[in-house]
Amino acid sequence: MRETTLRDVADLAGVSPRTVSNVVNGYAKVTDSTRAKVEAAIAELGYRPNVLARNLATGRSGQIVVVVPYLDTPYFAELLQAIIPAARKLGYNVLIDQTDGDRQHEGELIGRGSRRHLFDGMIISPLGLAQEDLTARDPSLPLVVLGERVSDGTFDHVGIDDVAASTEAVAHLIAIGRRRIAAIGDQPYPTGEAAQLRTRGFRAAHEAAGLPVDESLIIGTARFNRIDGATAMTALLDRADPPDAVFCYSDLVASGAIHTVLGRGLRVPEDIAVIGYDDIEDGRYSQPTISTISPDKKAIAQLAVDRLVLRIAASEPIPGVELRAPHELVPRQSTLGY
């Protein structure tokens, strides 16, 4: 049995298909009586519009794609959880792609891919986009980038003020009396700009407090996972002069670091205070609970979606902007104690 179409409804209601379309879309001026007739017919036949056909006719898919490195990283999962309803509210479905942290994959996604017609725009949270990825990108693809700051001026960024947030985090460690503070997560190469901003905040806080920075306490990591935090922390604890506090560039890193500290029989925060970044749900339940920088994920999601939809609707290319979502310092047990 065929699905009922616009035409079926039109026949039953005694109007033209075009009028049914107008009713369905809430468009134009339709008399109340006509609308009533059509709606009755729709209800009677159980009609539902064929989105595929609409997509072809309008040339728009009504879908946006969100690209994240890993779905099972809590920060991204929580972000997605915020993006999906925000997009849905504006009439967009969300497709999700994960790159598995593969930069080449990221480059392909913003390039001229064969799936281009499936989405009207893209929100991407890259691990690190290189300049050459950008030049190869499909110029017809409305794009909003989360986190990264690199840009060619044709797309938008949404993020928090990483430098300010990092400065606050480290200032907090200083405020609770710590003087030898380590940083875990630096990435001193072109695609690691997000990490570098945090390192900049780390330095700024020291400077503001008149403290010297021990460069050897800035530990680089390839990623922001638990294992990276655990590994880095092991190296720090193996030193003759271990730190008394650690600023971790993600809560996962902090979790891994704490794991190592406790495993050595040391205490958090008494021996080593730890602060993270992202405010993932885990950190509120782990033992100890993790002090952190909490980005306003709902705001990030809303800003990104709004901006993307604006960009999709725009007939002219619009210049890229930098959008800042709020953040706040959330001290918990890993710095304050119990």
Partner DNA sequence: AGTTCCGATTGCAGCGCTGCAAAGGACTAT
Partner DNA sequence: ATAGTCCTTTGCAGCGCTGCAATCGGAACT
- Nearest approach, Cβ of 240 to its own copies (angstroms)? 26
236 closest CA partner among 173, 172, 180: 180
2 binding partner (options its own copies, DNA, none; Cβ < 5 to 8 Å by kind)? DNA
Positions touching DNA (CB under 7 A) are: 2-3, 5-7, 15-19, 21-22, 24-25, 28-31, 33-34, 47, 49-50, 53-54, 56-59
| 118 touching its own copies, by CB under 8 A | yes
Angle ∠(162,168,169) on CA atoms, nearest 5:
90
DSSP characters over 228-279: HHHHHHHHHHTSSS--SEEEESSHHHHHHHHHHHHHTT--TTTT-EEE-SS-
* Collapsed DSSP state (helix, strand, coil) of residue 292: strand
Site of tokens 């205490």: 267
Strands 273-275 and 245-248, sheet pairing: parallel
Residue 61 in the binding site for its own copies (CB under 8 A):
yes
Decide which of its own copies, DNA, none touches 24; Cβ closer than 5 to 8 Å per partner kind.
DNA
> Residues 6 or more apart from 287 whose CB is under 8 A from it?
none
- The distance of closest approach from Cβ of residue 66 to DNA in the complex, given in angstroms and rounded to an integer, is 25
* Binder of residue 103, out of DNA, its own copies, none (CB less than 5 to 8 A by kind): none
Stretch that binds its own copies, among 47-55, 124-132, 170-178, 306-314 (CB under 8 A): 47-55
96 binds its own copies (CB under 8 A): yes
Is 226 a residue that touches its own copies (CB under 8 A)?
A: yes
Q: Give one word for 213, left, alpha or beta, with left for phi > 0 and alpha for psi -120 to 50.
A: beta
Asked whether the beta carbons of 274 and 261 are under 8 A apart, the reply is yes
Residue count (the chain): 338
User: What gap in Å lies between CA 83 and CA 86, rounded to an integer?
Assistant: 5
282 binds, among its own copies, DNA, none (CB under 5 to 8 A by kind): its own copies
- Minimum CB separation from DNA for residue 32, in Å? 9
Shortest distance (Å) from residue 34 CB to DNA:
3
49 sits near its own copies (criterion: CB under 8 A): yes
As measured in angstroms, the least distance from the Cβ of 147 to DNA is 34
Structure tokens at 102: 């593969």
Q: Which of 32, 52, 132, 177 binds its own copies (CB under 8 A)?
A: 52
For residue 103, the surrounding DSSP H or E stretch is helix 103-110
What's the token pair of residue 331? 């001290």
Q: Least separation, in Å, of the C-beta of 167 and its own copies?
A: 28
Residues binding its own copies (CB under 8 A): 46, 48-53, 55-56, 59, 61, 63, 70-72, 74, 77-78, 80-81, 84, 93-98, 112-118, 226-227, 230, 255-256, 258-259, 262-263, 281-282, 285-287
